[in-house]
Amino acid sequence: MDSTGVPHVLEHTVLCGSQKYPCRDPFFKMLNRSLSTFMNAFTASDYTLYPFSTQNPKDFQNLLSVYLDATFFPCLRELDFWQEGWRLEHEDPSDPHTPLIFKGVVFNEMKGVFTDNERIFSQHLQNRLLPDHTYSVVSGGDPLCIPELTWEQLKQFHATHYHPSNARFFTYGSLPLEQHLRQVHDEALSKFQKIDTHTAVPTQKPWDRPREFQITCGPDAFAADPSRQTMVSVAFLLPDITDTFEAFTLSLLSSLLITGPNSPFYKALIESGLGTDFSPDVGYNGYTREAYFSVGLQGLSEKDVQTVRSLVDRTIDEVIEKGFEDDRIEALLHKLEVQMKHQSPSFGLTLTSYIASCWNHDGDPVELLKLGNQLTQFRQCLKENPKFLQEKVKQYFKNNQHKLTLSMKPDDKYHEKQAQMEAETLKQKVDSLSLEDKRRVYEKGLELRAQQSKPQDASCLPALKVSDIEPVMPVTELDVALAAGGTPVQYCAQPTNGMVYFRAFSSLHTLPEELKPYVPLFCSVLTRLGCGIFDYRELAQQIELKTGGMSVSPSVLPDAAHLDTYEQGVLFSSLCLDRNLPDMMHLWSEIFNNPCFEEEEHFRVLVKMSAQELANGIPGSGHLYASVRAGRTLTVAEMADVRPVLRKLPRIKKHLLSGDNLRCAVNATPQQMAQAERAVGDFVSSLGRSKKEQRPARPHVVEKPASGSPGSSMHVHGPQIVRKLVTDPTFEPCQMKTHFLLPFPVNYVGECVRTVPYTDPDHASLKVLARLMTAKFLHTEVREKGGAYGGGAKLSPSGLFTFYSYRDPHSTETLQAFGRAVDWAKSGKFTQQDVDEAKLSVFSAVDAPVAPSDKGLDHFLHGLTYEMRQAHREQLFAVSHDRLVAVSSRYLGVGKSTHGLAVLGPENAKIAKDPSWIVR
């Protein structure tokens, strides 16, 4: 009922020790004592979800036991609260001039969340549309309110809400249900008496007239046009989400209104040229007790806000009058059919998320899952009343007085004002403390630091052993055949549930260097510009009617055996119901042979949308982001005349969309393979080829068979797939330290070190070392002591060893922690138990479930054979204490390998004074 973030702080705190498992941080400890394929916790607006998954029955019981005990019987000692909520640092408690600084994981997480203008907008939209109860506050916590939370409030909230009477349990999978039920009863339910929790969320009182608000945010450093940074959205309150069929209908209606270039709001708003993209959270939102729908634009001039409001009203009137074309409704129902058949490794977790909100408000979860029934009922309603959808639009959008118009504009002093309010809040806190209070807080801080520095005894926690891991990996049978003109096609027969998955990879080694920066843009617009007889609207319609989506993405694939050898290319991916395979392959033929690069206005719209998506992605993924990635698209978005860029696209097409440098892959059921072979053969036959061989743009291109030497792989039948790898013998890596100045109150820190490729035995040791350093050193230093939301080390398949932190109040201190982590590893101050736990953690990723649609992709894309992967598996088993010490000395020490450092975040006095840093 307030914005102190109490449920969010509890989400972090309950996983920090319990009655049965009284060690600090069992959650993070279990990441290394388990073969879990997923472990996390999420705080939504009105519930907290604690999901985990594993393929090992013993592991499932272990994790369930830890989660149950943590949730219902946590050790909510005051110290635990300080540890995961925030802590106070003070040089001298008696000195009134030294400020007390609140720090904490949740505090810094939420400061990071609210650097994202889209999140600020979405939060306000919900708060103001549903102002009468819990949805009017920030469940994750407002950084200005989080310091108000007391330990007593935290304990009281736990006692009220964390009771089995207020809980729901969801399991999915092939393990016996009875065992789960018995364990949940024995370890949790049987220890409580049923109570009336009084946690129901009441319905929102409907308004008698529409409302409007304007809010502010920080300026967007990446905005293509600084004068167009306003957002506006019009939102409508919809019925209770427990009315399953009405919710299903309104969700479909929302898709018809906003999805794709044929939708009314796309035509009216996106193609108006007023903004760059839809406003955040556009469409149907069914995560609150009553759903809502919102639509609007971002990237606007402030003067155009009223125009957008008028366009929304006019579009609603037009839909009521004209309705929707039958083909658009069919395309949407086809999309649902594809979603019901497509299998992903996280299917069970997706179902959990899908039913959680409705079930939380006592809706029927089983009814919700019967999509087939809802689909039948929907078709029946349309048949009986052709104006069924138009009447819904009139009821919920035209005649709905519970309508909110929210606009947001940038304020240059926004971040300054936030920092000032935070400083004032902290000053008030400090001023209210007596000298005795300060001394007590200071002593608590020392006690906490001592606790954090103590070695942890995790022996109370259950654990799997390395011997529980399967020594041999399962075999995936692959067939390779040559289609017309010698194009290799890999076939992988899998239980795909009546779906066919097609991929093609086209090498870029002949593309001139000056065109390469435009390849990501080429990929993002290729399937959205029209082709052959279809304009862009008709192509979008065909893609929706005949496929589950067609995507094109640039890829740089490392070589498994050499650090500076890689394959540059573009990956084409699509899926369809088996009956639509010939149609899907015909669409690819048209896109490859007759793409349309003349639609200048629509191209400009697509570029603006791409640039907006790139800019919006930075606050959420700062630790992953290379700012140069966004550079080219943002530059094009600013151009008044885009024709010079459009003229580059046919030149890229000539090198990319031909049969010359192509290989294909199909995953389908055995019964579909003959049809797949015919359809792919027709596609390949339709492609043009160069009369003479095109010369590589780079002088050094290595041709490499995917399966090593001929006949080396006993599980790939038929001819070989040959990869065209680029190498540069003159390449010299250089050390760079770059600080990207961004208007964020937190930092994203990264340090990369070049090591060795996948097939080198040291690669396995470095992979285990990354997990070991994360769990045994960096987690404590960067998250627990430093207050960052996350941090650790990881090794990429290409051999880059990366230290990282995100939503981090520190930068240079974190880089020093990375250095200490290397010294710790070189000193060998870790046990055999630590090594075994790191191996378990690595194998949980190595053996994560792979969807039938993705089997064989390692071979197709990266040239990894069964033998190479099994050899790597054996190298992982063989990693020892001595090897870990050896590789940390050999690769990670100063002067051993080339290091690259980057910090994304606010100004930093230390970095500014250091001439070895480049500030951008």
* Cα separation, 30 vs 715, whole angstroms: 36
The pLDDT of residue 617 is: 67
Whether residue 590 is predicted with pLDDT greater than 70 in this model: the reply is yes
The pLDDT of residue 638 is: 62
Residue 156 region by backbone torsions, left for phi larger than 0, else alpha for psi between -120 and 50, else beta:
alpha
Domain that holds residue 839: 736-919
Which residues share a beta bridge with 213?
406
Does a structural domain hold residue 474? Answer: no
CA dihedral sign of residues 109, 111, 117, 123: positive
**Domain match, 182 and 305 both:** no
Q: What is the pLDDT of residues 457-470, one digit of tens each?
A: 888 999 999 999 99
Q: Which of 200-209, 330-339, 360-369, 683-692 has the weakest average pLDDT?
A: 683-692
The pLDDT of residue 671 is: 96
Whether residue 713 is predicted with pLDDT greater than 50 in this model: the reply is no
Q: Which of 297-301, 320-324, 732-736, 887-891 has the weakest average pLDDT?
A: 732-736
Q: What angle do CA 158, 785, 741 make, to 5 degrees?
A: 110
Confidence at 15, pLDDT banded by 50, 70, 90: confident
Q: What average pLDDT does the chain have?
A: 89
236 SS3 class: strand
- CATH number of the domain to which 422 belongs: 3.30.830.10
Q: What is the pLDDT of residues 379-400, one digit of tens each?
A: 999 999 999 999 999 999 999 9
Burial class (CB in 10 A: 0-12, 13-18, 19+), 126: buried
The pLDDT of residue 616 is: 73
**Domain match, 389 and 378 both:** yes
Does a structural domain hold residue 1? Answer: no
Whether residue 620 is predicted with pLDDT greater than 90 in this model: the reply is no
**Are the CB atoms for 37 and 55 separated by under 8 Å?**
yes
The pLDDT of residue 893 is: 82
Confidence at 636, pLDDT banded by 50, 70, 90: low
Span 901-917, mean pLDDT? 92
The pLDDT of residue 93 is: 40
Does a structural domain hold residue 380? Answer: yes
Does a structural domain hold residue 419? Answer: yes
Residue 141 region by backbone torsions, left for phi larger than 0, else alpha for psi between -120 and 50, else beta:
left
**Domain match, 597 and 672 both:** yes
Domain final residue, candidates 681, 703, 727: 727
Span 522-529, mean pLDDT? 94
Domain count, the chain: 4
Does a structural domain hold residue 461? Answer: no
**Domain match, 528 and 642 both:** yes
Span 822-839, mean pLDDT? 95
Higher per-residue confidence, 844 vs 430: 844
Side-chain half-sphere CA neighbours of 571 within 13 A: 15
Which residues share a beta bridge with 215?
408
Domain final residue, candidates 382, 410, 438: 410
Contacts of 544 (CB under 8 A, 6+ apart): 260, 331, 332, 334, 335
**Domain match, 104 and 221 both:** no
Side-chain half-sphere CA neighbours of 633 within 13 A: 26
Span 174-192, mean pLDDT? 96
Single-letter residue type at 588: W
Q: Which of 18-22, 55-59, 500-504, 879-883 has the weakest average pLDDT?
A: 18-22
**The pTM is what?**
0.89
Q: What is the DSSP string of 662-729?
A: EEEEEEE-GGGHHHHHHHHHHHHHHS---SSPPPPSSS-EEEEETTSSTT--TTEESSPPEEEEEE-T
Q: What percent of the chain has pLDDT over 90?
A: 67
Span 688-700, mean pLDDT? 69
- Rounded to whole angstroms, the maximal C-alpha distance in the chain is 87
**Domain match, 486 and 540 both:** yes
Higher per-residue confidence, 640 vs 52: 52
**Domain match, 371 and 384 both:** yes
**Are the CB atoms for 452 and 779 separated by under 8 Å?**
no
* Cα separation, 541 vs 783, whole angstroms: 48
**Are the CB atoms for 328 and 322 separated by under 8 Å?**
no
Does a structural domain hold residue 456? Answer: no
Span 740-749, mean pLDDT? 87
* Cα separation, 720 vs 722, whole angstroms: 6
The pLDDT of residue 104 is: 60
Does a structural domain hold residue 471? Answer: no
Question: CA-CA distances (angstroms) from residue 290 to 209, 250, 352, 712, 757?
Answer: 18, 12, 19, 60, 52
Span 704-727, mean pLDDT? 68
Q: Which two tokens stand for residue 23?
A: 């060690």
Q: How many CB atoms lie within 10 A of CB 604?
A: 19
Does a structural domain hold residue 309? Answer: yes
Q: What angle do CA 510, 550, 247 make, to 5 degrees?
A: 155
CA dihedral sign of residues 691, 504, 695, 522: positive
**Domain match, 753 and 723 both:** no
Q: What is the pLDDT of residues 47-106, one digit of tens each?
A: 999 999 999 999 999 999 999 999 999 887 544 444 433 334 433 444 433 333 333 688
The pLDDT of residue 698 is: 61
- Residue 92 sits at φ, ψ, to 5 deg, of -145, 110
**Domain match, 191 and 220 both:** no
Domain final residue, candidates 410, 427, 458: 410
Single-letter residue type at 9: V
**Domain match, 172 and 33 both:** yes
**Domain match, 237 and 381 both:** yes
The pLDDT of residue 629 is: 35
Q: How many CB atoms lie within 10 A of CB 917?
A: 18
- Residue 915 sits at φ, ψ, to 5 deg, of -70, -10
Residues serving a catalytic function are 11, 84
* Cα separation, 525 vs 597, whole angstroms: 9
Contacts of 803 (CB under 8 A, 6+ apart): 749, 750, 751, 752, 778, 791, 792, 793, 818, 821
Higher per-residue confidence, 786 vs 284: 284
- Residue 698 sits at φ, ψ, to 5 deg, of -100, 145
Span 818-843, mean pLDDT? 95
* Cα separation, 231 vs 295, whole angstroms: 11
Q: What is the pLDDT of residues 415-426, one digit of tens each?
A: 899 989 988 988
- For helices 6-13 and 151-161, the axis angle rounded to 10 degrees is 80
Q: Which two tokens stand for residue 368?
A: 């919700």
Whether residue 626 is predicted with pLDDT greater than 50 in this model: the reply is no
* Cα separation, 751 vs 814, whole angstroms: 10
Q: What is the pLDDT of residues 252-293, one digit of tens each?
A: 999 999 999 999 999 999 999 999 999 999 999 999 999 999
Span 601-619, mean pLDDT? 81
**Domain match, 634 and 723 both:** yes
Whether residue 623 is predicted with pLDDT greater than 70 in this model: the reply is no
Q: Which of 48-57, 204-213, 557-566 has the weakest average pLDDT?
A: 557-566
